[in-house]
Structure 1
Amino acid sequence: MATSSLPPLDPRPKVREKTIRNIFVTQSEDTRQRKDNNANHISGVTESSNKFLEVSVSALQKTLILKKEAELEEVDKQLALKRQEFNTCVDALAQRRSELQIKQQQTKERVMKFEKFVAENEAKRRRALKSCESSREQNILKQREIENLTEQLKQLRVRKQILKDRMSKYKIFEDYLMKTLDYLPGNYPDNGSESLVMPIIRRHETLSITHQELLQRLGRMEEDVEQGQRQLLNMKHEHSTKKLMANKDLSELQRELETLKEKNKQTEVKLQIEQGLSREKLEEMGRLLMAINNLAEQCYLTAYGALENMNMLTKMDMVKEFILDKADTERRARRLMESASAMTSTTAMTDKRGRGSIKSIGSKTQLKSSSKVSKKSEIFT
């Protein structure tokens, strides 16, 4: 046989929703419904207990109001103290920031002076190195000139000694010829300007003079060549020195460039890290503000005024008061439920005829209160 589909049974009793009347905020709807039900069914028995509960509730409400006012005054005092501490901290931080800025400016000035001093010392050092190099080059050139001149002097001394030896060797022939000329008669054909020996002698003298001129010219040319070689060597040495100095300056500039690149990389990494941290802080702050705004919308109390005009501290205070009020209401509801259950048990013992109806009413009220308590606990969580 085909079974007909039945709707699912709801274990909880259906409760008709009613509009909340203008009553005190700590008085729950379950308590009022339970009071109405008990008054309808067992009005004669629970009349005195209801009066007692109303008196106790009113006294409890007054004490809670006084307690809340005292707590509010204490919170206001603490808030004023916190504001004063915050203002003092802000003033101290501003003064410290100004001192740090002054110290930073002084440090920058000192660094600039030190860099200027280092640059001046570096320029002096370079000028001293250049002067030292030039003086050393001049000393080397002078030493070479001295060596060349000493070598030439040795050669000239050797040549002079050779010529002296040759003159001493040919001196006897000169003496013999002069004596022979002295013994010749005056009308000798070879004597005088018409002699045949005189053109040869003149020719020899001319050739010797030409030879001497050529030797002098050769010496001057050799000196010019040596001077050109010395100039070439000096130019090569100067070129090598300038090349070394340029390579040194280039290496220093390359090291400075590498250090600057490394510093730029480090600053870029620090900047990226700071940007990431600031972005994470802003996102976290945005989430926190959004959560506070959502809680303020859910826990809105008209005593604090419009929600748009509140700051974050006021919203947090409002949420705190709402949660404390709800927790206090739950505790009072549980106490009233326990007292009502005790009263229903006593009335069940005295009235045997209405036991079934009282049990059904007690179970309904218990289910209602448990459902309300579970809803409130979900709201708090």
Structure 2
Amino acid sequence: MATSPLPALDNSDPRLLLAVENRVKNIFVTQSEDTRIKKAENVNYIPVVTETSSKVLEAGVNTLQKTLVLKKQAELDEVDKQLALKRQEFKSCAEALAQRRSELEIKQQQTKERAMKFEKFVAENEAKRHRALRKYEAAREQNISKKKEKEDLTQQLKHLRARHQVLKERMAKYKIYEDYLMKTLDYLPSTYHDNGSESLVMPIIRRHETLSITHQELLQRLGRLEEEVEQGQRQLRTMKHGHSIKKLMANKELSELQSELETLKEKNKQAEVNLLLEQGLSREKVEEVGSLLMAINNLAEQCYLPAYGPLENMDTLTMMDMVKEYILDKADTERRARRLMESGSALTSRTALTDKRDRGSMKNIGSKTQIKSSSKASRKSEMTS
């Protein structure tokens, strides 16, 4: 039930000041002036009290209950004022702390947003870098293939030029034979020209022409086969090169994934450490918990009860319950033994008290008989006297 506070008292209130006046002493008119002066010398005048009421109340001894109530009321008002000041200070401190907490939360949110933006920026840059690397690898592969084709074409051009030079030299070598045959034809008679188609030379010439044509076709076919073989070799080389590039890219991605895995592991370890720090756990506490578990296991081994089953399958709470039950059982046994011992000691003390009482009653009876006999003897002596 809430009590209503008493009204506050102000020390400057004139009603609380104790006004004491120097009253005039009662003097009879019939007294002479000399006696008045002589008696005035031994008069103790009442001094004027100029102190405050609270000091007067503190210094007073034979004060009334109401005055004591006023004194306590003044002290209570002072305590209320101090309490109000402390509440105001606490309220201002709480408001300042709340404001600081809100500011810290805002700053934390801003840092989180900045971290998220930075992570997004890093991810975008990483994606751009991967795309640029892929484009660079593709362009490099294309440049390498173009260079290979250029080298092959230059090699073919050199080969064709060398062949052309060889054929040109061969034509220059056989030019004299052609000129000689043309001159011999010019010197032959016309009748020989008319019957030349029927002669034996024409089948040889035709045979040579067919052989040269088949030779050209075979050379062309061989060139085509060589080109196909070279194309297949180029394709094989490009496939091997692409396979090696893909292997390198796969190894690179694997190394990047491994590095990401290591960073994630580090982040997880840091997060676990931060979590342990936030929860107030430290290495000393962990060691203390370990020692506590070892102590519990030792107590469980010492206080083992077969009703709880095998000790290896018990958890910590079950072990503690078992130890508690064991201790309670031992304490109950000890209390029973003490009760039995106390009951035995009480019986022995009772018997001793009864023996003492019996002995005291016998002594009292003896003393009473002695007193009676002495009183009778004194009476007899008095009668005889």
Q: Under a length normalisation based on structure 1, what TM-score does the superposition of the two structures give?
A: 0.51
Relative to structure 1, is the Cα distance of residues 233 and 59 closer, same or farther in structure 2, using a 3 angstrom cutoff?
farther
1:313-333: per-residue Cα shift (whole Å, max 9, x none)? Answer: xxxxxxxxxxxxxxxxxxxxx
**1:165 aligns to what?**
169
- Could you tell me how far 1:94 is from its partner in structure 2? 1.9
Structure 2 gaps of 5+ residues are 1-58, 286-385
Of 112, 123, 128, the match for 1:119? 123
- Could you tell me how far 1:60 is from its partner in structure 2? 9.6
Are 2:263 and 1:259 aligned?
A: yes
Q: Distance in 1 between matches of 2:219 and 2:278?
A: 87
Relative to structure 1, is the Cα distance of residues 169 and 271 closer, same or farther in structure 2, using a 3 angstrom cutoff?
closer
1:103 aligns to what SS in structure 2? helix
Q: Distance in 1 between matches of 2:64 and 2:233?
A: 119
**2:17 aligns to what?**
none
**1:239 aligns to what?**
243
| Residue identity (%) | 77
Structure number with greater CO (CA < 8 Å, separation at least 6) is 1
Q: Distance in 1 between matches of 2:220 and 2:257?
A: 54
**2:217 aligns to what?**
213
Relative to structure 1, is the Cα distance of residues 219 and 277 closer, same or farther in structure 2, using a 3 angstrom cutoff?
closer
Of 175, 178, 185, the match for 2:182? 178
Of 192, 195, 200, the match for 2:199? 195
Are 2:213 and 1:224 aligned?
A: no
**2:273 aligns to what?**
269
- Could you tell me how far 1:68 is from its partner in structure 2? 6.2
**2:290 aligns to what?**
none
Relative to structure 1, is the Cα distance of residues 226 and 275 closer, same or farther in structure 2, using a 3 angstrom cutoff?
same
Relative to structure 1, is the Cα distance of residues 180 and 245 closer, same or farther in structure 2, using a 3 angstrom cutoff?
same
1:193 aligns to what SS in structure 2? helix
Counterpart amino acid of residue 101 in structure 1: E
- Could you tell me how far 1:242 is from its partner in structure 2? 2.6
- Could you tell me how far 1:108 is from its partner in structure 2? 2.3
Most deviating of 94-103 and 56-65: 56-65
**1:100 aligns to what?**
104
Q: Distance in 2 between matches of 1:79 and 1:251?
A: 68
- Could you tell me how far 1:58 is from its partner in structure 2? 6.6
- Could you tell me how far 1:199 is from its partner in structure 2? 1.5
Are 2:82 and 1:78 aligned?
A: yes
Relative to structure 1, is the Cα distance of residues 67 and 227 closer, same or farther in structure 2, using a 3 angstrom cutoff?
farther
1:159 aligns to what SS in structure 2? helix
Relative to structure 1, is the Cα distance of residues 259 and 176 closer, same or farther in structure 2, using a 3 angstrom cutoff?
closer
- Could you tell me how far 1:111 is from its partner in structure 2? 2.2
2:196 aligns to what SS in structure 1? coil
Are 2:141 and 1:137 aligned?
A: yes
1:121-170: per-residue Cα shift (whole Å, max 9, x none)? Answer: 22222222222222222222222222222222222222222222222222
Give 1 or 2 for the bigger CA radius of gyration.
Answer: 2
Q: Distance in 1 between matches of 2:168 and 2:195?
A: 30
Most deviating of 103-112 and 181-190: 181-190
Relative to structure 1, is the Cα distance of residues 64 and 227 closer, same or farther in structure 2, using a 3 angstrom cutoff?
farther
Q: Distance in 2 between matches of 1:170 and 1:266?
A: 90
1:32-68: per-residue Cα shift (whole Å, max 9, x none)? Answer: xxxxxxxxxxxxxxxxxxxxxxxx9975998998876
Q: Distance in 2 between matches of 1:161 and 1:171?
A: 15
- Could you tell me how far 1:263 is from its partner in structure 2? 2.2
Relative to structure 1, is the Cα distance of residues 261 and 72 closer, same or farther in structure 2, using a 3 angstrom cutoff?
farther
Q: Distance in 1 between matches of 2:62 and 2:278?
A: 58
Q: Over aligned residues, Cα RMSD in angstroms?
A: 3.3
Counterpart amino acid of residue 215 in structure 1: L
- Could you tell me how far 1:244 is from its partner in structure 2? 2.2
- Could you tell me how far 1:98 is from its partner in structure 2? 2.1
Q: Distance in 1 between matches of 2:162 and 2:280?
A: 91
Of 88, 94, 98, the match for 1:90? 94
**1:26 aligns to what?**
none
1:172-223: per-residue Cα shift (whole Å, max 9, x none)? Answer: 2222222222333344499432222212211211121111112112212222
1:296-375 matches, within 5 Å, as: none
Q: Distance in 1 between matches of 2:270 and 2:124?
A: 29
**1:249 aligns to what?**
253
**1:147 aligns to what?**
151
1:235-270: per-residue Cα shift (whole Å, max 9, x none)? Answer: 222222232223222222222222222222232233
Relative to structure 1, is the Cα distance of residues 277 and 116 closer, same or farther in structure 2, using a 3 angstrom cutoff?
closer
2:197 aligns to what SS in structure 1? coil
Relative to structure 1, is the Cα distance of residues 107 and 272 closer, same or farther in structure 2, using a 3 angstrom cutoff?
closer
